[in-house]
Structure 1
Amino acid sequence: MRLVSHPVLCNYYVTYRCNAKCGFCDIWEKPSPYITLDNFEENLTHLKKLGVKVIDLTGGEPLLHREIDQLLKLAKEKGFITTLTTNGLLYPKWAARLKGLVDMLHFSLDSPHKEEHNNSRGVDCFEHVMESIRIAKDLGERPDILFTVFEENVDQIETVYKNICEPNNLVLILNPVFDYNDVETGQSLSEGTLEKLSNWGKKKNVYLNEAFITLRKDGGNHVTNPICKAASSTIVISPENELVLPCYHLGLKAFKIENNLAELYSSEEVQKLVALEGKLPECEGCTINCYMQPSFAVEMNKYFWKALPSTIKYNRLKGTWRALI
């Protein structure tokens, strides 16, 4: 049963450019412009009309955008919940100007060991993450640690939790890795690793969407009975000011936005693509977290109930639950 018929999230790519070279991502390889303030402000008005509540300013590395503070300020002024993930390289530079503008601020950290994390990211950024934590805390901010879980680093969760998160009172977000397109992320997560993640998700100040685990045990999305509601729950906007469908990672078609996002999204041509969400051959077996998360929230099924406790837990920790009602 469908609970919410309108999109709830916008993944807004402010640029595809990045100052890291993560081996499990290919976004940084793409040439890219930066979004403009004018286009962003216009699109915010339309996103509000469409019912979107959360805007994820993403990339690439979003802090490469020279007006990222102004973008976030505009989103907050219009009442959106804001989220942003950074590798930490530029956060110390931006920290004071971003204070109070990001509801869900995530620092990416894949290992408690400096060399391993830097190798994963393709750039020396471990110490910048540690510095970013200190600065954010001094400013009264409440960042999270976003830990991408691979088969080979699952046993490092405990060290990150005990040595970094607990002493700094940070939420630890566990993000199971996923494959997409031609990007391979190594060995699939084993049953044992999935069980370890489930157990970690029960701990204080740890967020793991249990539905991610269930979905992986079920073999991911199935085109005959799709769980994915990417295109109807999430709006993807590119740095070129295009509406990308059915999702960024598949990106079959991009529609130029010309001050008409709400009208464009509701158009017959776009809705035909929306109707194909989760049903395309490429969608078989998909487990991409950033689209499954909102998909679980808009339709009542077993994944909805699996996701609900952790979703409530996290939004209570961040104080954002009222804005989602």
Structure 2
Amino acid sequence: MRLRSKPVLCNYYVTYRCNAKCSFCDIWERPSPYIMLPDVEQNLRDLKRLGVQVIDFTGGEPLLHRQIDQMLGMAHDMGFITTLTTNAMLYPKLAERLKGKVDMLHFSLDSADKEEHDKGRGVACYDFVMESIRVARELGEHPDILFTVFRHNLHQLEEVYQNIILPNKLVLILNPAFGYNEVETGEQLTEEELRYLSDFGKRKQVYLNQGFVQLRLDGGNKTAKPVCKAASTTLVISPENELVLPCYHLGTKGFPINSGLYELYRSQEVEELKRLEGRLPACEGCTINCYMQPSFAVELNKYFWKALPSTLKYNYLKGTWKRLI
């Protein structure tokens, strides 16, 4: 049973450019412009009309955009919940400008070992994460640590939790790695490892959407009966100011917005693509977290019930529920 017909989230790609070269991501290889502030302002108005509640300013590395603070401030003032994930290399320099504008600020950290983390990211950024934690806390901000989980770094969870999360009173977000296109993410977590991850996610100050674990145990999205509702729950806007469907990772078509996002999203051509969400050949077995999270929130099924306790836990820890009232 469908609980909500309106989209929940906008993944707003401010640029595909990045100052890191993560081994599990190919976005930094793409040429890219930067989004334009007047387009953002118009699109935010249309996103509000469409019922979107959360704006994720993403990339690439979103802090590369020189007007990122203005965009975040604009979205925040309009009542959206704002979220941003960064490798933290630029955060200490921009922290004052970003203060109070990001509801969910995530610093990427995949290991307590500096060399291991920097190797995976393709650039020396571990020290920037540590510095960013200090700066953010001094400013009264409440950042999270986003830990992308692979088989090779699963053993690092305990040390990150004990030595970084608890002493700094942070939230640890567990992000199981997912494959897409030709990007190599290594061997998938075994059933035993997934259950370990599930148990870890029940600790205090830890967030893991338990629906992610269940979906992986079930073998991912099934095109015959899709759980993915990417196109109807999430709008993806590219740096070229195009609406990308059905999603960024598997996107096959970009529609120029031309100051008409509201009408475009409700057009017949887009509606036809929305009806194919989760049913395309590339959707078989998909476990892409950023589309499953909103998908689990709008359909009353076992994934909804699996995800609900962890989602409530995170929103309680962060206080974001107050902005939805």
The bucket for the TM-score relative to the shorter chain is: over 0.9
1:191 deviation in Å? 1.0
1:321 deviation in Å? 1.2
Q: Who is 1:226 aligned against?
A: 226
Q: In the alignment, does 2:9 pair up with 1:9?
A: yes
Q: Who is 1:63 aligned against?
A: 63
1:135 deviation in Å? 0.2
Runs of 5+ unmatched residues, structure 1: none
Partner AA of 1:10 in structure 2: C
Q: Who is 1:34 aligned against?
A: 34
Give, in whole Å, the separation in 2 of the partners of 1:115 and 1:213. Answer: 28
Partner AA of 1:296 in structure 2: F
1:193 deviation in Å? 1.1
1:146-185 alignment to 2 at 5 Å?
A: 146-185=146-185
Give, in whole Å, the separation in 1 of the partners of 2:154 and 2:116. Answer: 13
1:1-325 alignment to 2 at 5 Å?
A: 1-324=1-324
Partner AA of 1:16 in structure 2: Y
Partner AA of 1:298 in structure 2: V
Give, in whole Å, the separation in 2 of the partners of 1:139 and 1:78. Answer: 23
Give, in whole Å, the separation in 2 of the partners of 1:76 and 1:210. Answer: 28
Normalization by structure 2: what TM-score? 0.99
Give, in whole Å, the separation in 1 of the partners of 2:120 and 2:294. Answer: 27
Runs of 5+ unmatched residues, structure 2: none
SS state at 1:162 partner: helix
Give, in whole Å, the separation in 1 of the partners of 2:186 and 2:288. Answer: 15
1:262 deviation in Å? 0.7
Count, aligned residues: 325
Cα shift readout 1:8-53 (whole Å, capped 9, x = no counterpart)? 0000000000000000000000000000110000000000000000
1:71 deviation in Å? 0.5
Give, in whole Å, the separation in 2 of the partners of 1:156 and 1:117. Answer: 10
1:322 deviation in Å? 3.0
Give, in whole Å, the separation in 1 of the partners of 2:321 and 2:305. Answer: 17
Cα shift readout 1:231-280 (whole Å, capped 9, x = no counterpart)? 00000000000000000001110000011101000000011001000000
1:152 deviation in Å? 1.1
Give, in whole Å, the separation in 2 of the partners of 1:112 and 1:199. Answer: 20
1:324 deviation in Å? 3.4
Give, in whole Å, the separation in 2 of the partners of 1:29 and 1:206. Answer: 32
Give, in whole Å, the separation in 1 of the partners of 2:29 and 2:175. Answer: 22
Give, in whole Å, the separation in 2 of the partners of 1:184 and 1:295. Answer: 25
SS state at 2:83 partner: strand
Give, in whole Å, the separation in 1 of the partners of 2:37 and 2:316. Answer: 31
Partner AA of 1:285 in structure 2: G
Cα shift readout 1:283-314 (whole Å, capped 9, x = no counterpart)? 00000000000000011100000000000000
> Aligned-residue CA RMSD in angstroms?
0.6
Structure 1 segments of 4 or more deviating over 4 A? none
Cα shift readout 1:171-199 (whole Å, capped 9, x = no counterpart)? 00000000000101001111111011111
Give, in whole Å, the separation in 1 of the partners of 2:254 and 2:128. Answer: 35
1:155 deviation in Å? 1.3
Partner AA of 2:64 in structure 1: L
